[in-house]
Amino acid sequence: MESGAHRANDFRRHAELLSPDGEPQRAIKIGDMVEAPDTNGNPVQAKVTEITSMGDKAMVVLTADGRRWIAEMPLTQGEAKAAKRFTDAVFGKDNASRGLRDDRPFDLYDFMLRAHAHMTREQVDKFFDDNPTLRHYKDLPLKDARVRIAREYTKWRWARQNEKKEAAIR
């Protein structure tokens, strides 16, 4: 059986994504500049600094003007298929063994820890100020506050995903 690392290296050397009509298409890559809404909803040019696939979408960490935030991006059919087969290496990610899966909250938590690892004190304080039910964590030391934010975001995302699944069943 082919290992994930072998498939990922093979993809980086040889693969080209094709659109449904057979035209070559470029996958989004770490380091790309994209237009995306910032934390206030305003469109900005932002750099993709982390990406992890989740089926037909990806969680990305974006940076612009000294700020970092997490966003969800849709993947093309070709990107989703390639990520499923070749891992997140299709996006230029090193050591990509697999993408995030909806049924693996610890993978999401690990992603969130990496995504929030460089938050400034001001960003942490703003997060807690914007989330009144979590405001009591505001006085945590910076390192602990980053971990708390990753935990809370993971719990929120996990609950939201399960609500969507339940609604689809009804």
Predicted local distance difference test score (pLDDT) of residue 45? 94
Rounded average pLDDT over 33-58: 88
Query: What secondary structure, in 3-state letters, does 96-135 show?
Result: CCCCCCCCCHHHHHHHHHHHHCCCCHHHHHHHHHHCHHHH
Q: Are 149 and 124 in contact (CB under 8 A)?
A: yes
The pTM is what? 0.55
Q: How confident is the model over 3-41, as pLDDT tens digits? A: 444 433 443 333 456 666 767 777 788 889 999 888 888
Q: Is the pLDDT of residue 79 over 80?
A: yes
Q: Is the pLDDT of residue 62 over 70?
A: yes
The mean-pLDDT minimum among 56-60, 102-106, 144-148 falls in 102-106
Rounded average pLDDT over 149-164: 81
Q: How confident is the model over 80-105, as pLDDT tens digits? A: 888 887 777 778 776 565 555 556 67
